[in-house]
Amino acid sequence: MAIELPSDYYLTNFNELVQYTALNYADLLSDSEQDFLDVFAHLPVTAQMLYIRMLTRTGHWFRATKLRYNEIPDVHIDAIRLQNCDLVSLYGAEPAAIENTLGLFNKKEWLAQLTHSR
């Protein structure tokens, strides 16, 4: 029988790691690392969850429509919260280079988009 993990297990694990590090190695943290920890700690829990989910995904660019998690009711709102804290950049906030976006869509999706835009 498989063990069922709590829906926020990844956030719990991250927070335990951060707390241990801050408690035992605070003198090794740079100012920017400490600033990150302070900003992160003041985010709503769902925004923290989204950040960790994005951090553990492959790649640096993600399609908003592919970010769906049962435990995060409004990914869009939490993404805006993360952008407001300079933790992520949303498409449109800065120009995206074509080489960064090519991997976001599969061939079928690119063909459908190109056919539709004619």
pLDDT tens column, 66-108? 899 999 999 999 999 999 999 998 875 455 555 666 677 778 8
Whether the per-residue pLDDT at 116 is higher than 70: the answer is no
- Tell me the CA distances in angstroms from 79 to 25, 95, 101, one per residue in order: 30, 17, 18
- Taking the C-alpha atoms of residue 103 and residue 34, their distance in angstroms, rounded to an integer, is 33
- Taking the C-alpha atoms of residue 43 and residue 15, their distance in angstroms, rounded to an integer, is 13
- Tell me the CA distances in angstroms from 31 to 23, 37, 83, one per residue in order: 15, 10, 20
- Taking the C-alpha atoms of residue 107 and residue 110, their distance in angstroms, rounded to an integer, is 5
- Given the structure tokens 């049962």, which residue do they identify? 70
Global pTM reads 0.77
Distance, CA of 6 to chain centre? 19
Helix residue ranges, H only, 1-118 = 9-25, 31-41, 45-55, 75-84, 98-101, 107-116
pLDDT at 100: 64
